[in-house]
Amino acid sequence: MAKYFPEIRGKIKYEGADSKNPLAFKYYNPRKKVGRKTMEQHLKFAVAYWHTFKGTGADPFGGGVYDRPWDHASSPMEQAENTLDAAFEFISKMGIKYYCFHDRDIAPEGATIKETNKNLKKIINKAEKLQKETGVKLLWGTANLFSHPRYTNGAATNPDPRVFAQAASQVKRAIDATVQLGGTGYVFWGGREGYVSLINTNMKQELDQLAQMLHMAVDYAKRAGFKGKFFIEPKPKEPSTHQYDVDAGTVLGFLTKYDLLDDFALNIEANHATLAGHSFQHDLQVASDAGMLGSLDINRGDPTLGWDTDQFPTDIYDAVWAMYIIQQQGGLKYGGLNFDAKVRRSSFDTVDLFHSHIGGMDTFAKGLLIADKMIKDKALSQPMAERYAGFKRGMGKKIMKNELTLTQLEKMAIEQGEPPMLSGRQEELENILNSYIFG
Ligand code: XLS
Ligand code: CA
Ligand code: CA
């Protein structure tokens, strides 16, 4: 297997923090124990098929610039097979255990639904074989319900039920593919499930349709033997002006309203949280507090741009907070850390794909080590517990147990007098966090 990436002979190795080899891990040591699990078990990295193998470097001002050897083929199916070979060679050389795909990245759409299904089946059979040979697994699958012109006005939320039916067919087949490949997750990202103007949009009708599609998917998946979790991936805008799955809070409200909480969890993407005007940490914490943090897309945006740049993660604060929240909730049972990131347009060499994933993995490995130490030392949890301690005893405890009325509290407030001012100590805590990051 050295066909497409001859520049990398064996596997990318861990060489330690002092290594100057740019094609080696400095912090990601798959066998290193962190608590009871190895780094590899904690950090279920997944390669995003669409960006890493199907990305072309195109942007709104120019077409593709990457010349990928696996694209040189005489037919779309031959190209899909070459891409699959390239993918498994790359993922194995990176020492990554998982990947994620859309139906349309992995196999080309045919002229009819029947032909499309045949294409998908053939490629999924080949993927199954390659998974067995390499030990690489599927983290999650999904259907691309946004690229084809038929989805211009939405997929499940389209005003035309004939488009809904096309989307249903894709969801069914993508679930089948996920089940066959043993994926533990299935993602719904509502690319065009949103609207541009209310002048022609019945929002309530569209949300009812979306919920209906999700209920149908749950029913079908149960019969198809899916043992994993469905994930919804929030994003506030792009391509729609207003996307329905704005952020973690909005999606939680939607799942609650439509009685979908049991079968779904959230896939939180860093760049989508920031587009929603939140930090990555905020949306992760909202999802985790609700017991609904299922999986992560660990890219990053560019704070000076207002769009979804999907860059590889290099920000140590983001990585520390992500791992801190994941570790505190006891890990991710069905999900993992999907990169969903692409190299820049000007990074067109295949070796750039290695540099980018190495950087992301090292950043999250270091993030895990820092988060683990902070948790063990109770560096932030102790001050946090002390800050809210009043609600664990006496009057505070009674408030939370619903044992006091407003009238009783007024009496107590009069008796106790003006409460003292207590500092939030934000800067002191930031210094503590930095002391762990600086090492
Ligand atoms: C696009 C989304 C997409 C989902 C999967 O912005 O991030 O790639 O993760 O459909
Ligand atoms: Ca994105
Ligand atoms: Ca994503």
Q: Is 308 a catalytic residue?
A: no
Domain presence at residue 382: no
Q: Which residues lie with the beta carbon below 6 Å from any ligand 1 atom?
A: 102, 142, 187, 189, 233, 235, 269, 297, 308, 340
50 and 177 in a single domain? The answer is yes
Domains held by the chain: number: 2
Together in a domain, 163 and 279:
yes
Kindly state whether residues 325 and 394 are assigned to the same domain: no
Residue 262 designated active-site: no
Compute the CA torsion angle 162, 163, 169, 174 (nearest 10 deg).
-170
Looking at the CA of residue 235, tell me the nearest atom of ligand 1: 6
Phi-psi region of 418 (alpha: psi -120 to 50; beta: other; left: phi over 0): beta
User: Is 310 in the same domain as 396?
Assistant: no
Give the domain-ending residue among 358, 377, 396. 377
Question: What pLDDT is stored for residue 17 in this prediction?
Answer: 98
Q: Which of 377, 408, 430 is the last residue of a domain?
A: 377
**Claim to verify: residue 258 and residue 153 sit in the same structural domain:** yes
Tell me whether residue 336 is in a domain. Answer: yes
What pLDDT is recorded for position 2? 61
CA 311 to centroid of chain Cα atoms: 13
Q: Say what the alpha-carbon torsion angle 3, 97, 184, 104 is, to the nearest 10 degrees.
A: -30
Alpha-carbon distance of 105 to 99, in angstroms, equals 12
Question: Read out DSSP for 100-141?
Answer: EEEHHHHS---SSHHHHHHHHHHHHHHHHHHHHHH--EEEEE
- Give yes or no: residues 98 and 158 share one domain: yes
**Is 163 found in the same domain as 56?**
yes
State phi, psi for 326 to the nearest 5 degrees. -65, -45
Residue 430 and residue 383 in contact, taking contact as beta carbons nearer than 8 Å: no
pLDDT at 166: 98
List the shell of residues around ion ligand 2, using CB closer than 5 Å: 271, 308, 310
- Is the same domain home to 288 and 401? no
Domain endpoint, select from 332, 357, 377: 377
Q: What is the mean pLDDT of each run of 10 residues along the chain (439 residues)?
A: 88 98 98 98 98 97 98 98 98 98 98 98 98 98 98 98 98 98 98 97 98 98 98 97 98 98 98 98 98 98 95 98 98 98 98 98 99 98 98 98 98 98 98 97
Q: What's the whole-model pTM score?
A: 0.98
Looking at ligand 1, which residue's alpha carbon is closest to its atom 4? Answer: 189
Q: Which residues pair with 46 in a beta bridge?
A: 98, 338
With contact defined as beta carbons under 8 Å apart, do 390 and 396 qualify? Answer: yes
Q: Is position 7 within any domain? A: no
| 8: in domain | no
Residue 397's domain spans which residues? 388-438
Residue in the structure block whose two tokens are 């979790």: 229
Q: How is the chain split among helix, strand and coil, in percent rounded to 5?
A: 50, 10, 40
